[in-house]
Amino acid sequence: MKRIGMLTSGGDCQALNPAMRGVAKALFNSGEDVEIYGFLDGYQGLIYSRFRLLNYADFTGILTKGGTFLGSSRTPFKTIREPGPDGIDKVAAMKQTYHKLSLDCLVILGGNGTHKTANLLREEGLHVITLPKTIDNDLWGTNMTFGFQSAVNVATNAIDCIHTTAASHGRVFIVEVMGHKVGWLTLNAGMAGGADIILIPEIPYDIDKIAKKIKQRNAHGSQFTILAVAEGAISKEDAALSKKEYKKKMLKIRKEFPSVSYEIADKLAKKTGCDVRVTVPGHTQRGGAPCPYDRVFASRLGAEAGELILNGEYGFMVGYQNREIVKIPLEEVAGKLKMVPPDASIIKEAKLLGISFGD
């Protein structure tokens, strides 16, 4: 009998359900006796022993559903060793739940913070397999994360929709794209949506160069400009500050502007005289049904995770490298961000297309 625990932690995204379905189907179809326990609301379910025994029917009809049927929550890694308000030792409680159920393995679906905690549990002696979930595509060790392509589709659609109204009114439009500290989502959605200017955290921008690009477009007869701006975009001036100085400055600026896009819009309106508007698709980028690519991709990752469990191979993240599904030691993944290299070929090619990065 194989006893498997499963949880989804951190922010939700598309294709969590297909990934869990992939794991379950691989296990149930193996011919072995299997029990799968689903922990509710991420690590909170593991800490407080909130779970339910899942059967084959629980994984039927969920391939096309977004979100996670187990629920999710954030349990910050930086405080994982600190007792909560109720005084519970979170790590000890998770280990206790694992052993109480006599689990053979814990399958954890999540992003960067989730993987840090997963690796900690591995170090504590638990058998762990992880799957790379995040719309940010910023997990080290895998070329792709599930949820990313679906989010690109949503963000691209937002930019597509803005194009018609921007052209009709001759406006400058900023579409703020999610992505946390990296620019993969903004870069891909910006290129797919035909953005004229793309601002990502990895390439600090010069506001004067952005204004110059807008004026050049106007002079050439293009009466509108589309900017795809990452939520973590940063100016060259701010990038030169220390972390402490930058945090102090942001606390002051965010009292006036809710996000970087509104700050940029205010500056561009003053420098160009253009009518500048901001659109924030926000959490729609994490919602809705997974796209076909993500359904297939997440299913493949889940199936591979199931095979690792059947073979007794633990301590890995199932990832994607060079168009193949691979296993990466968890200790090599945890705590590392996959940034967009400023000299990446996709950046060079974007610039050849005339896209400005404000640098």
> Does 5 have pLDDT greater than 90?
yes
DSSP 20-45: HHHHHHHHHTTSS-EEEEEETTTHHH
- Average pLDDT rounded to a whole number, residues 22-30: 97
The DSSP secondary-structure symbol of 235 reads B
> Is residue 73 within 8 Å of residue 44, measured between CB atoms?
yes
Query: Which residues carry out catalysis?
Result: 136
CATH 3.40.50.460 corresponds to the domain 151-286: yes
Q: Where are the domains of the chain?
A: 2-147+290-333, 151-286
> Does 253 have pLDDT greater than 90?
no
Q: Which residue has the tokens 């106007």?
A: 218
For residues 96 and 48, give the distance between their C-alpha atoms in angstroms, rounded to a whole number.
10
pLDDT interval class at 292 (50, 70, 90): very high
pLDDT interval class at 168 (50, 70, 90): confident
For residues 281 and 278, give the distance between their C-alpha atoms in angstroms, rounded to a whole number.
10
Helix (H, G, I), strand (E, B) or coil at 227: strand
pTM attached to this predicted model: 0.94
Q: What is the pLDDT of residue 170?
A: 83
For residues 65 and 193, give the distance between their C-alpha atoms in angstroms, rounded to a whole number.
25
Q: Which residue has the tokens 């009114």?
A: 169
- Average pLDDT rounded to a whole number, residues 303-311: 98
Residue 343: exposure state from Cβ atoms within 10 A (0-12, 13-18, ≥19): exposed
pLDDT interval class at 127 (50, 70, 90): very high
- List alpha helices for 84-183, DSSP H: 90-100, 112-123, 148-169
- The encoded tokens of residue 60 equal 């039927």
pLDDT interval class at 252 (50, 70, 90): confident
For residues 347 and 185, give the distance between their C-alpha atoms in angstroms, rounded to a whole number.
13
pLDDT interval class at 344 (50, 70, 90): very high
> Is residue 151 within 8 Å of residue 138, measured between CB atoms?
no
Q: What is the pLDDT of residue 84?
A: 81
Return the C-alpha torsion angle 75, 79, 84, 88, nearest 10.
90
For residues 347 and 349, give the distance between their C-alpha atoms in angstroms, rounded to a whole number.
5
> Does 95 have pLDDT greater than 90?
yes
Picking from 42-46, 81-85, 149-153, 332-336, which range would have the lowest pLDDT averaged per residue?
81-85
- The encoded tokens of residue 100 equal 């109480």
Helix (H, G, I), strand (E, B) or coil at 333: helix
Q: What is the pLDDT of residue 166?
A: 87
pLDDT interval class at 85 (50, 70, 90): confident
For residues 64 and 57, give the distance between their C-alpha atoms in angstroms, rounded to a whole number.
15
What is the crossing angle of helices 184-192 and 148-169, to 10°? 50
Q: Which residue has the tokens 């590392």?
A: 336
Q: In angstroms, how far is CA 143 from the centroid of its own chain?
A: 13
> Is residue 204 within 8 Å of residue 151, measured between CB atoms?
no
For residues 80 and 69, give the distance between their C-alpha atoms in angstroms, rounded to a whole number.
24
pLDDT mean across residues, the chain: 96
Q: What is the pLDDT of residue 16?
A: 98
For residues 11 and 329, give the distance between their C-alpha atoms in angstroms, rounded to a whole number.
23
- What would the pLDDT profile of 179-217 be if each residue is shown by its tens digit? 989 999 999 999 999 999 999 999 999 999 999 999 999
What is the crossing angle of helices 292-310 and 148-169, to 10°? 160
CATH of 2-147+290-333 among 3.40.50.300, 3.40.50.450, 3.40.50.720, 1.10.357.10: 3.40.50.450
> Does 294 have pLDDT greater than 90?
yes
pLDDT interval class at 167 (50, 70, 90): confident
For residues 71 and 41, give the distance between their C-alpha atoms in angstroms, rounded to a whole number.
4
pLDDT interval class at 271 (50, 70, 90): very high
- Average pLDDT rounded to a whole number, residues 96-114: 97
Backbone angles phi, psi at 336, to 5 degrees: -115, 135
Q: Which residue has the tokens 């949880």?
A: 7
